[in-house]
Amino acid sequence: MSRHRNVRGYNYDEDFEDDDIYGQSVDDDYCISPATANQFIYSRQERHAPKEEPLEEEQYGDEDVPVSPTISHNLDPLDQAKSRDVLHSKLDSEVVPKVARMTVSGKKQTMGFDVPSTAENGVVTTSGRRGGSPENATVTPATEATSKRPETPSKGSNGDETSTAPTPGRSSGKARQAISIKAELEKRQGGKPLLNLVVIGHVDAGKSTLMGHLLYLLGNVNKRTMHKYEQESKKAGKASFAYAWVLDETGEERDRGVTMDVGMTKFVTNSKVVTLMDAPGHKDFIPNMITGAAQADVAVLVVDASRGEFEAGFEAGGQTREHALLVRSLGVTQLAVAVNKMDQVSWQQERFQEIISKLGHFLKQAGFKESDVFYIPTSGLSGENLATRSSLSQLTSWYSGPSLLEQIDAFKAPQRSVEKPFRLCVSDVFKDQGSGFCVTGKIEAGYIQTGDRILAMPPNETCTVKGITLHNEALDWAAAGDHVSLTVTGMDIIKINVGCVFCDPKDPIRVCTRFRARILLFNIEVPVTQGFPVLLHYQTVSEPATIRKLISVLHKSSGEVLKKKPKCLSKGMNAIVEIQTQRPVSLELYKDYKELGRFMLRYVGSTIAAGVVTEVKSI
């Protein structure tokens, strides 16, 4: 057994200490100088980059190797490569130190990038090199640049065209767009105006199921996808949630059976392009609902017609009242009330009228005009009276009004502030493939084009718009009212948060920590005093704040000052107050930008006031 080595106790270092075989590299067997290796590497690159040819001959021309530029450039590329190989072999045969050769080859490669610029400018600059006469040094490159001019600068000029051509194009486009932005908006989508619709209501009123079924009936969801949702929902024990899964896309929303974030999609009616926002109904997600409602033009309030459910949503603690107040305070004036689940009460007219009378009285108090509120009996699960008018005898016997889709189509589209400076409130920030990052949000005013420079406030950082996406379609421009995704570069993603505002650098938005506002107090249990802590909801911002001063109490209708410096404010009062935020926020005056001048105040999970900005105190 002596022929077997003691492997465990073996010292390999001693055994292979002076051994030439172990650890020997390829260079020991097949030795090649760095210059020669460099030469081969360069030859491979040369095939892909023929523009470096003149420089190589120029370099070796200085080493007193006679090369005729005229002959070499008239040869086809294969013959040129052969002549170059011969040239390299001659150089290697000379007695030149390796360091010198490496220096020359390194210089040759670094200088290779300067060739197009020298040829483009028409000025040939030569550095002082060893050997070779000055005449050779200046004449040879000049001749080579002349002979190669049709080839080398052509690539450079193309590169210049791609980099410089868009600049005048963009500026001229900008000037043209500034004149005809309204005309461009009319051309888009076949002249159909854009309408931002938010769906609101108490939790479990059937909002997601109602709109999911409507999208399916309109053909926005194909049968295959719908069948998949039905099978998956049955497996999860939630067969009736199949249509809701069209809008509730995340796993957590589907597991809990509750909408948590604002789902967004698009559908087209006969006369409008509608951006649909499905807001959460649960009171824990009211901040998300405010974000959706702040971006809406019109709203659909969904109420549950079944016994006990409507009352639970409408009475104190229900979200029907709060949602209606919120959307009215955030500027929504047109409202469609979808009385859902009417099939559970056998389409009774008495139940429908009872709900209308209760809701109508409250909505009038909230500030809605009777002529702007419409009531539609529906069933989200069966699809009755959604996309087309129902033919069900139980319903048609007493209801002859429009279907839900017809009512959405009949809404008046609001006027867009396209002429005002650009404003976009950021609702989401994420890193996308490629350079830069993406921000999504609604353009509140003005318009944007690719290539524009925009300013982000409060960070006060500028960036460039590289791409604009609207409903997964790439566009060159977008205007007020559009929910877009912008790809921006030239800025760190860490500096942008949800709630930042992108604006025109020439006319930036105001940034402040203190501002004055006119507020209307809702039903509050605790009177508001100086130093009262609140949560400020403004567009997509949710910022802790404090009511610093109570300036005056106003008359509700006339706006006259009833009392100056009140000690406290109770429910139903209209007052001027000064609010201070913990961090700087971007605000606009209500009189300048109505969309950007509204805000809500919340305290301990309930909305206590709505307000408009009257004065901004700059930092």
β-partners of residue 483 are: 442
Q: Give the span between the Cα atoms of 222 and 220, in whole angstroms.
A: 6
Q: Which one is predicted more confidently, 571 or 129?
A: 571
Q: Which one is predicted more confidently, 2 or 176?
A: 2
> Percent of the chain scored above 90 by pLDDT?
30
pLDDT score at 149: 41
pLDDT score at 303: 93
**Which whole number is the average pLDDT over 403-429?**
90
* Residue 611 in this model has a pLDDT that exceeds 50: yes
Give the CATH fold of the 189-410 domain: Rossmann fold (3.40.50)
- Tens-place pLDDT, residues 252-279: 887 888 888 788 888 888 888 899 988 8
Contact criterion met (CB below 8 Å) for 331 and 598: yes
Return the exposure string of 316-347: e unless at least 16 CB atoms fall within 10 Å of the residue's CB, then b. Answer: eebbbbbbbbbbbbbbbbbbbbbbbbbbebeb
Domain with CATH 3.40.50.300 in the chain: 189-410
* Residue 52 in this model has a pLDDT that exceeds 90: no
Length of the chain: 619
Q: Which one is predicted more confidently, 85 or 389?
A: 389
Second CATH level (architecture) for the domain 511-617: Beta Barrel (2.40)
* Residue 313 in this model has a pLDDT that exceeds 90: no
**Which whole number is the average pLDDT over 385-408?**
90
- Per the omega criterion (within 30 degrees of 0), is the bond before 458 cis? yes
Q: How confident is the model at residue 315 (pLDDT cuts 50, 70, 90)?
A: confident
Q: Which one is predicted more confidently, 281 or 302?
A: 302
Contact criterion met (CB below 8 Å) for 328 and 367: yes
Helix (H) or strand (E) holding 131: none
pLDDT score at 455: 93
**In the β-sheet with 334-340, what is the strand arrangement from edge to edge?**
263-268, 273-278, 194-201, 298-304, 334-340, 373-377
**Which whole number is the average pLDDT over 385-400?**
90
* Residue 453 in this model has a pLDDT that exceeds 80: yes
Domain with CATH 2.40.30.10 in the chain: 423-503, 511-617
Q: Give the span between the Cα atoms of 449 and 13, in whole angstroms.
A: 69
pLDDT score at 85: 60
pLDDT score at 281: 84
- Tens-place pLDDT, residues 581-592: 999 999 999 998
- Closest by Cα among 338, 350, 267 to 307: 350
**Which whole number is the average pLDDT over 90-111?**
42
**Which whole number is the average pLDDT over 331-342?**
92
- Strand, helix or coil at 448? strand
pTM of the model: 0.68
Cα distances (Å, whole numbers) of residue 233 to 195, 242, 246, 323: 31, 6, 11, 28
Q: Give the span between the Cα atoms of 126 and 516, in whole angstroms.
A: 68
Q: Give the span between the Cα atoms of 149 and 119, in whole angstroms.
A: 7
DSSP state of 332: -
**Which whole number is the average pLDDT over 347-355?**
92
- Name which of 226-230, 283-287, 306-310 the model is least confident about: 283-287
What residues contact 104, with CB distance under 8 A and at least 6 apart? 59, 63
Contact criterion met (CB below 8 Å) for 586 and 509: yes
Amino acid at the residue 322: E
Q: Which CATH number fits domain 423-503: 3.40.50.720, 3.10.290.10, 3.30.1490.100, 2.40.30.10?
A: 2.40.30.10
pLDDT score at 187: 73
pLDDT score at 257: 80
What residues contact 611, with CB distance under 8 A and at least 6 apart? 517, 518, 519, 520, 577, 598, 599, 600, 601
- Tens-place pLDDT, residues 157-212: 343 433 333 333 343 344 434 446 777 777 776 678 889 999 999 888 888 889 88
Q: Give the span between the Cα atoms of 358 and 157, in whole angstroms.
A: 74
- Closest by Cα among 271, 283, 292, 342 to 312: 283
Q: Two tokens at 212?
A: 């999911």
Q: Two tokens at 606?
A: 């309930």
Q: How confident is the model at residue 123 (pLDDT cuts 50, 70, 90)?
A: very low
pLDDT score at 184: 75
What residues contact 287, with CB distance under 8 A and at least 6 apart? 537, 542, 602
State the average pLDDT for the chain.
Answer: 76
Give the range with max mean pLDDT: 111-125, 253-267, 310-324, 346-360.
Answer: 346-360
Contact criterion met (CB below 8 Å) for 278 and 208: yes
* Residue 302 in this model has a pLDDT that exceeds 50: yes
pLDDT score at 259: 83
* Residue 53 in this model has a pLDDT that exceeds 50: no
Residue 373 phi/psi, 5-degree rounding, is -115, 130
- Tens-place pLDDT, residues 55-78: 444 444 444 444 444 444 455 555
